[in-house]
Structure 1
Amino acid sequence: MKTVKTLLTLIITLTLTLISKAQNTEFTILTYNIYHGEQAYQKGKPNLDDIAKLIKDIDPDFVALQEVDSMTQRTAEVYDGKAVDLVNKLASKTGMHGFFAKAIDYSGGGYGEGLLSKNPAELSKIDLPIPQGGEGRAMAIASYKLKNEQTITFGATHLCHQFDSNRIAQTEAIVEHLEKKIGPSIVAGDLNFKPETTPYKILEKGYIDAAASYGNPLPTIPYENPRSRIDYVWLSKNSNWEITEVKVIPVGFSDHMPVLVKVVLKD
Structure 2
Amino acid sequence: MRIVTFNILGGRTQHDAEVDVAVLQRAIADLDPDVLALQEVDHLLQRSGHADLTALAAEAMGATDHRFVAALAGSPGATWTAATGDEQPGDAAYGIALLSRMPISGWQVIRLPAVPTQVPMRFPGRLLPTWVRDEPRVAVSATVETPDGPITVTTTHLSFIHWWNGRQLGRLTRSLAGAQRPLVLTGDLNMGLARAARVSGLTPLAEHATFPADRPREQLDHVLADPPLAARSTARRMALSDHRALLVDLDLRQATSRRRPAPRRTPAG
Q: Shorter-chain TM-score category?
A: 0.7 to 0.9
Counterpart code for 2:175: H
Q: Which residue of 2 aligns with 1:86?
A: 53
**Separation (CA, whole Å) in 2 of partners of 1:72 and 1:228:** 30
Contact 1:129 1:166 in 2 (8 A): no
Contact 1:223/1:252 (CA < 8 Å) preserved in 2?
no
Q: Which has the larger radius of gyration?
A: 1
Matched, 1:234 2:208: no
Instruction: Tell me if the contact between 2:28 and 2:57 (Cα under 8 Å) persists in the aligned partners.
Output: no
Is structure 2 residue 46 aligned with structure 1 residue 70?
no
For 1:146-189, what per-residue CA distance to the aligned partner results, in whole angstroms no more than 9, with x for missing partners?
446x431100111111x223212211121112111132110111
Alignment counterpart, residue 255 of structure 1, candidates 233, 242, 246: 242
1:101 maps to a residue whose letter is V
Residue ranges of structure 2 left out of the alignment (5+ in a row): 80-91, 118-133, 258-269
Gaps of 5+ in 1: 1-26, 77-82, 212-216
Q: Percent identity?
A: 28
Instruction: Tell me: CA distance 1:31–1:120, structure 2 relative to 1, closer, same or farther (3 Å).
Output: same
What is the letter of the counterpart of residue 141 of structure 1?
S
Is the aligned partner of 1:222 residue 2:221?
A: no
Query: If each structure's helix is expressed as a fraction of its own residues, which one has the higher value?
Result: 1
Is the counterpart of residue 125 in structure 1 residue 109 in structure 2? Answer: yes
SS for the counterpart of 2:170 is: helix
| Counterpart Cα distance in 2 of 1:233 and 1:175 | 13
Aligned to 2:25: 52
Aligned Cα root-mean-square deviation (Å)? 1.9
Q: What is residue 193 of structure 2 aligned with on the other side?
A: 195
Alignment of 1:134-149 (within 5 A): 134-147=134-147
Please state how far the C-alpha of 1:131 moved relative to its aligned partner: 4.0
- Which is worse superposed, 112-121 or 89-98? 89-98
Task: Name the CA shift for 1:31/1:99 in 2 (closer, same or farther; >3 Å).
Answer: same
Per-residue CA deviation, residues 23-76 of structure 1 (Å, 9 max, x unaligned), is xxxx21101110112222233242x32332233234322111010111112223
State the aligned residue count: 221
Listed as ranges, the matches of 1:133-212 within 5 Å are 133=117, 134-147=134-147, 150-161=149-160, 163-197=161-195, 199-203=196-200, 205=201, 207-211=202-206
Q: TM-score, normalised by structure 2?
A: 0.76
Whole-Å separation in 1 of the counterparts to 2:143 and 2:180: 11
Does structure 2 retain, via aligned residues, the 8 Å contact 1:247–1:260?
yes
Amino acid at match of 1:193: M
Answer yes or no: is the 8 Å Cα contact 2:27–2:238 preserved in 1.
no
Matched with 1:214 is none
1:220 touches 1:257 (CA, 8 Å); kept in 2? yes
* Residue equivalent to 1:20: none
Three-state SS of the structure 2 residue aligned to 1:53 is helix
Structure 1 stretches of 4+ with a deviation exceeding 6 A read none
